[in-house]
């Protein structure tokens, strides 16, 4: 790269903001995503992303399961420009589409936006996803949604957030009323009021600026409102008793800035986006297995695969591998090495993701996500690089599965393709495999039901092996030190199995069974993955 090219690379990287939106189903993730896309001009009409959910816009050439569920690859990464930034939003599927991919996606982002339903507070799925973000130490921004409805008290919500998630919170704004009485947002951070419905009273201005004491200068709609005074009091209390604003604490993921707003009525969303962009990090350094650091502005291209999505078209066995670029510049046709095998390959068939259609990538830099058409070369966690020196990024973590099924080949004569399929899908990271201790039954584990459906579908279509799956239900998986293992410890309530690295673990029926076990064997330490 010459000086101009390097300068250009640095400029481009600086513009990137790559994040995921995490939430419990129905908190409003789709709605806020759509508003953000509208601001970025990536879609023209509200309802576009939503329509995809119901299948109206589903493309015809993607995996059947995806189509039935109406989720599409095109909406799993959304890229658009806003002001001078290039934004990549990575979707984290929820509901029944929840899978290990949902967790792994969080390995490929530099920040997370947590959308919370302010009527409900912190819910289960948010907690799980939050835990993964916290483990990575990435900045987490909170959007308390649905303030157009009567919800819970803001102070109550902040308190719950801090307590349940064990993170400090800093309210960036404060709702003035709620539901029908909502007047606006007291924008603590910018020291102004964001008016709910600008009218002739305030000359149609969206914002009313305040003095240092939080007073409105001159004539204004709320001067004598007791509500406004109440908000001011709360806000002052917060300033005195609450956490201090700290850019460093946000960057480390120790303090979450909290924005109240309403995605549906598009109130507070733009301010959120603009403030978020101010504090969200640009792509950062990535650690490698041999403790080296790859900088996003390193000249050589590198990246890792965090998700593989199978194509449904039986005529084309190809899949799409999602790659997060970590350094350099991707150009179509670039020659790279697949680190795991030392295999050289040319990346000529790649795609970039937009909200409405897939486009061919011309070039992309660190922070961007590209899709590589894959005919079976890639595994989840793979590193590819273009330089001479080998790069191997740290392994992606494994997540503790929660659902289990016993699996066998429908046709006993077809054991070979059954084993081949299972082994390849396990290696690829689509599913986790266990064997029961004495009977050597195959048990597969997943974090979401979708993984089983994809497994079944791919076994049939890619390996010509129909499978029979018998649910064992939801279980709590806990590993134990092999030295402490006594095979009599297993029972139907705490099934003893081995993982693919031959490590023993118990699948407990419920927390009660796990507690019972711990009481009986107090010296046995039970551990989980993430
Ligand atoms: P999700 O992706 O997190 O699952 O949530 P989604 O955006 O689909 O929103 C879930 C429901 O909450 C939707 O209503 C949506 O319109 C509503 N919603 C989202 N943001 C707000 C908000 O700020 N205020 C209010 N009052 N509602 C909000 P739905 O009835 O399930 O769907 P729809 O028929 O309205 O599309």
- For the chain, what percent of residues have pLDDT higher than 90? 50
Q: Closest ligand 1 atom to the C-alpha of 267? A: 23
pTM, 2 dp: 0.87
Q: Is 262 in the pocket of ligand 1 (CB under 6 A)?
A: yes
Q: Is 148 in the pocket of ligand 1 (CB under 6 A)?
A: yes
CA distance to 96, 395, 509, per residue, from 434 (Å): 23, 20, 16
CA distance to 37, 39, 163, 360, 369, per residue, from 83 (Å): 13, 10, 36, 24, 20
pLDDT at 239 over 90: no
Q: What per-residue confidence (pLDDT) applies to 491?
A: 82
- Measure the N-to-C terminal CA separation of the chain; round to a whole number of Å: 40
For residue 50, how far is its CA from the centre of ligand 1 (angstroms)? 10
- Work out the average pLDDT over 524-530: 85
Mean pLDDT of the chain, nearest integer: 85
Q: What per-residue confidence (pLDDT) applies to 231?
A: 76
Q: Is 178 in the pocket of ligand 1 (CB under 6 A)?
A: no
- Work out the average pLDDT over 466-490: 89
Q: Is 51 in the pocket of ligand 1 (CB under 6 A)?
A: no
Query: Do the Cβ atoms of 20 and 90 come closer than 8 Å?
Result: yes
Q: What per-residue confidence (pLDDT) applies to 221?
A: 62
CATH number listed for the domain at residues 403-527: 3.30.70.3280
Q: Closest ligand 1 atom to the C-alpha of 145? A: 23
Domain definitions of the chain by residue range: 18-75+92-279, 286-385, 403-527
- Work out the average pLDDT over 325-350: 90
Query: Do the Cβ atoms of 391 and 112 come closer than 8 Å?
Result: no
φ, ψ of residue 199 to 5 degrees: the values are: -140, -170
Q: How many residues does the chain have?
A: 530
- Work out the average pLDDT over 279-308: 94
pLDDT at 343 over 90: yes
Q: What per-residue confidence (pLDDT) applies to 172?
A: 94
Could you report the per-residue pLDDT of 180-231, keeping only the tens digit for each? 888 889 888 888 888 887 666 666 678 887 777 777 776 666 655 677 777 7
**Cα 141 from Cα 32, distance rounded (Å):** 13
Query: Do the Cβ atoms of 259 and 271 come closer than 8 Å?
Result: yes
CATH classification of 18-75+92-279, choosing from 3.60.20.10, 3.40.50.300, 1.20.1250.20, 1.20.272.10? 3.40.50.300
**Cα 506 from Cα 525, distance rounded (Å):** 12
For residue 147, how far is its CA from the centre of ligand 1 (angstroms)? 12
Q: Is 447 in the pocket of ligand 1 (CB under 6 A)?
A: no
**Cα 98 from Cα 102, distance rounded (Å):** 6
Number of H-type helices and E-type strands within the chain = 13, 30
- Work out the average pLDDT over 479-505: 88
Q: Is 151 in the pocket of ligand 1 (CB under 6 A)?
A: no
**Cα 446 from Cα 101, distance rounded (Å):** 10
For residue 260, how far is its CA from the centre of ligand 1 (angstroms)? 16
pLDDT at 148 over 70: yes
Q: Closest ligand 1 atom to the C-alpha of 149? A: 26
Q: What per-residue confidence (pLDDT) applies to 363?
A: 66
The fold for domain 286-385 equals Elongation Factor Tu (Ef-tu); domain 3 (2.40.30)
Q: Is 24 in the pocket of ligand 1 (CB under 6 A)?
A: no
Q: Is 52 in the pocket of ligand 1 (CB under 6 A)?
A: no
**Cα 156 from Cα 150, distance rounded (Å):** 14
What is the residue with the minimal CA distance to atom 6 of ligand 1?
A: 28
Could you report the per-residue pLDDT of 98-142, keeping only the tens digit for each? 788 888 999 999 999 999 999 999 998 899 899 999 989 999 999
For residue 269, how far is its CA from the centre of ligand 1 (angstroms)? 15
Residue 246, classed as helix, strand or coil, is coil
- Work out the average pLDDT over 277-297: 94
pLDDT at 292 over 80: yes
Query: 190: which residues sit within 8 A by CB, 6+ positions away?
Result: 207, 271, 275
For residue 26, how far is its CA from the centre of ligand 1 (angstroms)? 6
Q: Is 187 in the pocket of ligand 1 (CB under 6 A)?
A: no
- Work out the average pLDDT over 12-29: 94
Across 275-402, where does the E strand assignment appear?
Answer: 286-287, 293-294, 302-310, 319-327, 329-331, 334-338, 343-347, 350-353, 358-359, 363-365, 369-374, 383-385
Q: Is 263 in the pocket of ligand 1 (CB under 6 A)?
A: yes
Could you report the per-residue pLDDT of 411-423, keeping only the tens digit for each? 888 889 999 999 9
Q: What per-residue confidence (pLDDT) applies to 264?
A: 94
109: left (phi over 0), alpha (psi -120 to 50) or beta: beta
pLDDT at 399 over 80: yes
CA distance to 32, 37, 136, 249, 265, per residue, from 48 (Å): 12, 10, 32, 36, 16
**Cα 338 from Cα 143, distance rounded (Å):** 39
**Cα 525 from Cα 134, distance rounded (Å):** 24
* Sign of the alpha-carbon torsion through 329, 330, 333, 337: positive
Please state at what angle helix 29-39 crosses helix 269-279, rounded to 10 degrees: 80
For residue 213, how far is its CA from the centre of ligand 1 (angstroms)? 37
Q: What per-residue confidence (pLDDT) applies to 57?
A: 36
**Cα 435 from Cα 449, distance rounded (Å):** 20
For residue 498, how far is its CA from the centre of ligand 1 (angstroms)? 43
Structure token digits, residue 514? 């796990």
């Amino acid at each position: 790269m010459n000086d101009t090219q390097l300068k250009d690379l640095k400029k481009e990287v600086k513009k990137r903001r790559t994040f995921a939106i995490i939430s419990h189903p129905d908190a409003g993730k789709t709605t806020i995503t759509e508003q953000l896309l509208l601001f970025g001009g990536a879609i023209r009409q509200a309802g576009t992303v939503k329509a995809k959910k119901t299948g109206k816009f589903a493309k015809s050439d993607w995996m059947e399961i995806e189509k039935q569920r109406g989720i599409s690859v095109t909406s799993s990464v959304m890229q658009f420009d806003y002001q001078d930034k290039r934004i990549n939003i990575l979707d984290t599927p929820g509901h029944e589409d929840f899978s290990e991919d949902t967790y792994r996606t969080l390995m490929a982002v530099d920040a997370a936006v947590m959308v919370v339903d302010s009527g409900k507070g912190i819910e289960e799925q948010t907690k799980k996803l939050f835990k993964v973000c916290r483990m990575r130490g990435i900045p987490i921004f909170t959007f308390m949604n649905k303030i157009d409805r009567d919800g819970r008290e803001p102070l109550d919500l902040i308190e719950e957030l801090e307590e349940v998630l064990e993170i400090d919170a800093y309210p960036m704004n404060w709702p003035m009323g709620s539901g029908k009485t909502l007047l606006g947002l007291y924008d603590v951070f910018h020291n102004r009021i964001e008016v709910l419905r600008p009218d002739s009273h305030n000359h149609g201005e969206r914002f009313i600026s305040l003095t240092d004491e939080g007073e409105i200068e001159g004539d204004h709609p709320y001067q004598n409102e007791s509500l406004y005074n109440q908000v001011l009091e709360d806000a002052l209390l917060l300033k005195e008793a609450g956490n201090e604003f700290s850019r460093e604490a946000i960057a480390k993921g120790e303090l979450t800035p909290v924005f109240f707003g309403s995605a549906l009525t598009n109130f507070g969303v733009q301010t959120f986006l603009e403030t978020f962009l101010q504090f969200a990090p640009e792509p950062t350094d990535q650690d490698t297995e041999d403790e080296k650091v790859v900088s996003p502005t390193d000249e050589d291209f590198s990246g890792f695969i965090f998700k593989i999505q199978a194509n449904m078209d039986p005529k084309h066995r190809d899949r799409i591998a999602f790659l997060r670029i970590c350094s350099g510049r991707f150009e179509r046709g670039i020659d790279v090495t697949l680190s795991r095998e030392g295999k050289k390959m040319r990346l000529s068939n790649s795609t970039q993701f937009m909200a409405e259609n897939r486009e061919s990538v011309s070039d992309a830099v660190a922070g961007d996500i590209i899709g590589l058409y894959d005919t079976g070369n890639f595994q989840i966690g793979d590193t590819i690089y273009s330089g001479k020196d080998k790069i191997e990024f740290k392994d992606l973590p494994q997540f503790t599965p929660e659902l289990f099924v016993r699996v066998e080949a429908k046709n006993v004569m077809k054991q070979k393709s059954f084993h081949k399929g299972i082994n390849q899908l396990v290696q690829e990271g689509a599913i986790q495999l266990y064997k029961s201790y004495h009977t050597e039954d195959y048990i597969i584990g997943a974090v979401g039901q979708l993984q089983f459906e994809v497994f079944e579908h791919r076994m049939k279509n890619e390996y010509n092996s129909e499978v029979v799956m018998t649910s064992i239900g939801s279980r709590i998986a806990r590993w134990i030190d092999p030295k402490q293992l006594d095979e009599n410890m297993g029972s139907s309530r705490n099934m003893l199995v081995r993982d693919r690295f031959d490590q023993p673990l118990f699948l407990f029926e419920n927390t009660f069974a796990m507690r019972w076990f711990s009481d009986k064997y107090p010296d046995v330490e039970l551990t989980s993955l993430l």
